Amino acid sequence: MNIILIEFILYCLVILTIGYYFSKKSKTHSDFLLGGKKLPGWALAFSERATGESAWLLLGYTGFVFMTGLSGVWVAAGIAIGILFAWLFLAKKFMRETNKYNVLTLPDYLAARFGEKANIIRWLTSILIAGFLMFYVGAQMAGAGKMLFTTFGMSPTAGVILATIIIIIIAFAGGFISVVWTDMIQSIMMLITLVILPIVALIYINTNDLSISQSLADAGNSYNNWFGGLTGFALGVLFFNNFSWFFGFLGGQPQLSARFMALKNDKEANQGSVVAIIWTVLAYSGAFLIGICAIAMYSQGSFADVEIILPTMILDLMPPWIAGILLAGILAAIITTADSQLMVVTSSVSEDIIHKAMGIDLTEKQLIWISRASVVFFGLVGMTIALVSESLLYLVVSWAWAGVGCTLSPAILMTFFWKRYSGAGVIATILSGLISTLIWISTPLEEMITSKFSTFFIALFFGIVFSLLMPDRDEKIELGTTEEAL
């Protein structure tokens, strides 16, 4: 255990050193929020993947597969296809639109694109992002508490506080540039954990004459069936509930879209696409196999909390010096995602609300310090949520995914690809997505069909209807001109 502790301390020191070094690179507000368009595509891809997958993948998804069996694969399928779509069809569009409108954040882009209702859009989008992402940040910090409890017997409270300190320091020091480079290191750490552990687990299962197929059959009727043993409508619900993560990847997650906005040119975007797609295939294959191997290694009901399966497997299967490196990969996932989400919330406050919506004229230095103060404040809010919340990582992240990703994804898709989308349509999209998510997760509707699916299509529907009913002024003029010509 001493070896693991030493490796943990060394890892944290390395990450903090990287954060301090790159803090000197953030000289302007643009640098602090979006890296000043100076970062290579491969680094942004590693950062985007580490940010997107977090403790949710390592702790939440592996536990989910352990509880569901083979049918858990559809979550991975939905996410992988969503990531593929985002990098191949949206990344370059984000890059070009960012350059065209000279913006630093997702809310600022939507506001600039629909200038008539810019301030309303800024306020609504910022409130939506800050409200839901704070729960996402809290989920990461709760994940840190679980991991440190499993590894060192440290109280979850102490684990949450320790993780919060590291997260705040990195984001405070160097902003986006610091976060991306620490993400890159941590993304590689995550990948090592997700590739090595299932290989070792499969060797252990083979050596000890255990059978995955028999264990799946023994675990329950649904475990050894790719569709959970369901048919008809029930099968459709299972498929859509699991596959529905796809909808949140269509441009609506601001912490991911920021990486696309930071790309320099098409060459960097192509490079990033290759890295992101390879990473996704390796990471999700590994996480799925870890959950399946756990079914063969441990009996159902042996864990009070299934989200500690991965660190438990690492401690059971690995010598201490390797265990320390792999467990650091989990801490890496937590830090990267929490940092990126903190930066998104911070940018919404400093750039979208204070600088743009309220019109307060500040110097570059003042804007940076407001951003840093926001990092500390919202970091402490996230820590408080982690300390008082008992919700599972998988569940909390799922709600945040619906509230932010599945609300803003239709807004982004229609902005990019539908010329008749209007400012009123954007407002209707955001309000309907926010309201429907809150209603859905507070009622039995969530158990029938996930809010990730319903939110996307409700927001899409209202966005289309209000755009047609209340077109922008230039759209009305254009239509009038067309009618006169006819």
pLDDT, tens digit, for every residue of 219-252? Answer: 877 888 887 765 666 666 666 677 787 888 888 8
Mean pLDDT of 456-460: 94
| Domain encompassing residue 199 | 2-391
Q: Which residues contact 415 (CB under 8 A, 6 or more apart)?
A: 110, 113, 421, 426
pLDDT band at 25 (very low <50, low <70, confident <90, very high): low
Which residue type occupies 188? I
> Can you give the CATH number for the domain in which 259 is found?
1.20.1730.10
pTM confidence score:
0.81
Length of the chain: 486
User: Rounded to whole angstroms, how far apart are CA atoms 419 and 131?
Assistant: 30
Mean pLDDT of 201-214: 91
Residue 449 DSSP one-character state: S
Q: Answer whether residue 369 is part of any domain.
A: yes
CA distances from 455 to 147, 434, 446, 452 (A): 32, 8, 11, 6
pLDDT band at 479 (very low <50, low <70, confident <90, very high): very low
pLDDT at residue 392 tops 60: no
Q: Answer whether residue 456 is part of any domain.
A: no
Mean pLDDT of 466-477: 78
pLDDT > 90 in the chain, percent: 23
HSE, side-chain direction, 13 A CA sphere, residue 48: 35
Q: Report the candidate in 367, 306, 297 with the shortest Cα–Cα distance to residue 30.
A: 367
Give the distance, in angstroms, between the CA of residue 27 and the centroid of all CA atoms in the same chain: 27
Q: Answer whether residue 457 is part of any domain.
A: no
The listed range with the strongest mean pLDDT (187-191, 281-285, 329-333, 402-406) is: 281-285
Using alpha carbons only, give the angle 477, 116, 354 rounded to the nearest 5 degrees: 165
* Separate counts of helices (H) and strands (E) for the chain: 22, 0
Q: Answer whether residue 428 is part of any domain.
A: no
Tell me if 174 sits within 8 A of 346, measured CB to CB: no
Q: Answer whether residue 35 is part of any domain.
A: yes
Which residue type occupies 396? V
Q: Answer whether residue 427 is part of any domain.
A: no
Give the distance, in angstroms, between the CA of residue 200 and the centroid of all CA atoms in the same chain: 28
Q: Please give the structure tokens belonging to residue 291.
A: 């959950």
Looking at per-residue pLDDT, the higher value among 406 and 485 belongs to 406
Split into its structural domains, the chain has a count of: 1
Q: Report the candidate in 84, 86, 102, 121 with the shortest Cα–Cα distance to residue 37.
A: 102
Q: Report the candidate in 337, 399, 391, 308 with the shortest Cα–Cα distance to residue 62.
A: 308
Mean pLDDT of the chain: 82
Q: Answer whether residue 435 is part of any domain.
A: no
Least confident of 48-62, 117-131, 194-208: 48-62
Q: Answer whether residue 401 is part of any domain.
A: no
